[in-house]
Structure 1
Amino acid sequence: MSLAESWDRYAVGSKPRRRVNGKGDATWLNWTQYADHGPDEGVLGPVAGRWVLELGSGSGGNLAHLVTLGATGRGVDVAPARKAVALERWGHLPGLEFRTAEATAFLRGTGETFDVVLSIFGAVWFVDPDTLIPLIRSRMAPGGILVFSHLPPGSQGPEPVGAGLRYDRTPDEWRRILTGHGFSDVRMSLIDPPEGRTVGTMLVRCST
């Protein structure tokens, strides 16, 4: 079974995103694995007029929210089922496009540069960082930012069947990898879980 087929099977069985969040908003950005929890798009700074790439865009909700704030968005996901769901839900928004591709193949094939790259439990967690991070850096505009989140190392349960390895890295390891591939101002934070939960979320932000 190919990587795309594995993720497609996982995507088909996943629960669709709610139509509104706890505040009644139709679009929102969520960095953590918990509903209505954690920081919002402010982590990225102003996004209006910026060209945003999401690697592992899933059903498109996070990227769609940034587009409603004035960004132009490109979402890339390896699972064809994700693109179909994203287009059904968000295809009406101008300035938003979704593509089915493996992250490194997309980055190697595009000639575009991006102001913001984000990965929320996405490609940065599932692709060897020594391969992916320099490719991301090569497609970023001067002054651009990369932000990603995933579970803290050693805290997750079983991996999605057939989906491939997770590349857990500690904050110190991420700092070494990111600075080694040309990023600066690397900032790490651990978002505490909501009450009654035990696992937080690691959030990493850096710039070109």
Structure 2
Amino acid sequence: MRASISTTINRQAWDRQARLALPHDRPMAPGRVEWTQYPGHGPGTELFGDVRGLTVAELGCGNGDNIAPLAVQGAHCIGVDLAPAQISRARTRWGHLPIRFHCGDARAFLTRTRPLDICFSIFGAVGLCPPEQLLPLIAQHLRPGGRLLFSVPDPRWLGPRRAVMRLADGSHVPVARWLSGPQGWKAAVRAAGLRCLHIEAINAPTGGDGTCCLLVHAQKSVGASDA
């Protein structure tokens, strides 16, 4: 699928999803970072380590719930999302925190941002953009020693749902995803010029549903130069 077509499909899908939730949004208090599809399951903010003073960007930030905890821990936070209604939600929920929210394509954002210490994506731009386009841009704009963390659905968990998303009103919209198993993501990260530190397959909390998502941790070589 051409990148421009997939961008339009995903913008429309997540914008529609956000518009259904907008009337219910209000200022919030930060909770935990949710890396999986199941609230309260799996790791949380501890994966980032000490973020005080670091520049952190979430690509595909949605309503901003996962970047908000890092803002209160002292990080310089940037949330990026393709869907205008998602950014409206994020500003409604987290406008009281020092987070800069940008509406636009993650690839365009990366071409003009300052170097980043941490870049992360939770079912966001990584997996919803062509990885051969997005991952090299992330690598280019990370500082030496900077880290990329992302979670993506396991292809088997999605099954036939990989090309659609069910909304809160019961309707379905098409989405464009790039899915792979652990070895495929490891190869994509390495091809982008990053070191793949760890890939964790996280099982669904019910146990019987198998792997729900993959959590990937990568790093830019300390000897690499800034963008």
TM-score scaled by length of structure 1: 0.88
User: What is the percentage of aligned positions where both structures have the same residue?
Assistant: 36
Q: State the shift of 1:127 in Å.
A: 0.6
Determine helix, strand or coil for the equivalent of 1:176: helix
Counterpart amino acid of residue 175 in structure 1: K
- Which 5+ residue runs of structure 2 have no aligned equivalent? 166-171, 221-227
Q: 2:157 aligns with which of 155, 158, 161?
A: 155
* 2:41 counterpart residue number: 37
Structure-1 separation of matches of 2:178 and 2:93: 30
Q: State the shift of 1:7 in Å.
A: 2.4
Is 1:93 aligned to 2:97, yes or no?
yes
Change in Cα spacing, 1:196 to 1:182, as seen in structure 2 (3 Å) is closer
Structure-1 separation of matches of 2:39 and 2:113: 36
Is 1:5 aligned to 2:7, yes or no?
no
Determine helix, strand or coil for the equivalent of 1:48: coil
* 2:224 counterpart residue number: none
Mapping 1:156-195, distance limit 5 Å? 156=158, 157-158=160-161, 159-160=164-165, 163-195=174-206
Is 1:205 aligned to 2:217, yes or no?
yes
Structure-2 separation of matches of 1:13 and 1:167: 25
Determine helix, strand or coil for the equivalent of 2:143: strand
Q: Deviations over 1:91-125 (max 9, x none)?
A: 1112x1101001112112x1411100000000101
Higher helix share: 2
Q: State the shift of 1:164 in Å.
A: 3.4
TM-score scaled by length of structure 2: 0.81
Determine helix, strand or coil for the equivalent of 1:83: helix
Change in Cα spacing, 1:178 to 1:70, as seen in structure 2 (3 Å) is same
Higher deviation after alignment, 193-202 or 125-134: 193-202
Q: 2:108 aligns with which of 105, 109, 114?
A: 105
- Which 5+ residue runs of structure 1 have no aligned equivalent? none
Matched residue pairs, number?
202
Structure-2 separation of matches of 1:186 and 1:14: 36
Counterpart amino acid of residue 15 in structure 2: D
Q: State the shift of 1:202 in Å.
A: 0.9
Q: Kindly indicate whether the alpha-carbon contact (under 8 Å) linking 1:175 and 1:186 is maintained by their aligned counterparts in 2.
A: no
